[in-house]
Amino acid sequence: MARKVIESVTCDACSKKGLEVPGTVNLTVMGDRYDLCDEHGARFRDQLAAALAPAVDAALSA
């Protein structure tokens, strides 16, 4: 009999709250990988952009 294995990827941030939301975004930071839903992916993208924007602007102006 043939078997088919289906892997479900859930959002790591939502899983901490006990929710099972599909993970659609991958975030990798220095080798650590996180699967995130669209909402958490956008939230972390915005936070990283805000945190890194001054440093990027300063480097470009130098």
pLDDT at residue 60, rounded to an integer:
60
Residue 58, SS3? helix
> pLDDT (tens digit, 9 = 90+) per residue, 19-34?
999 999 999 989 999 9
Q: What is the pTM of this model?
A: 0.70
In a domain, 55, yes or no: yes
CB 36 within 8 A of CB 28: no
Q: How many CA atoms lie within 13 A of 42 on its CB side?
A: 2
In a domain, 30, yes or no: yes
In a domain, 3, yes or no: no
| Both structure tokens of 62 | 């130098």
Domain that holds residue 56: 12-61
Q: Tell me the C-alpha distance between 17 and 55, whole Å.
A: 33
pLDDT at residue 53, rounded to an integer:
80
The long-range contacts involving 52-56, CB below 8 angstroms and separated by at least 24 positions, are: none
> pLDDT (tens digit, 9 = 90+) per residue, 45-61?
999 888 888 765 555 66
The number of domains in the chain is 1
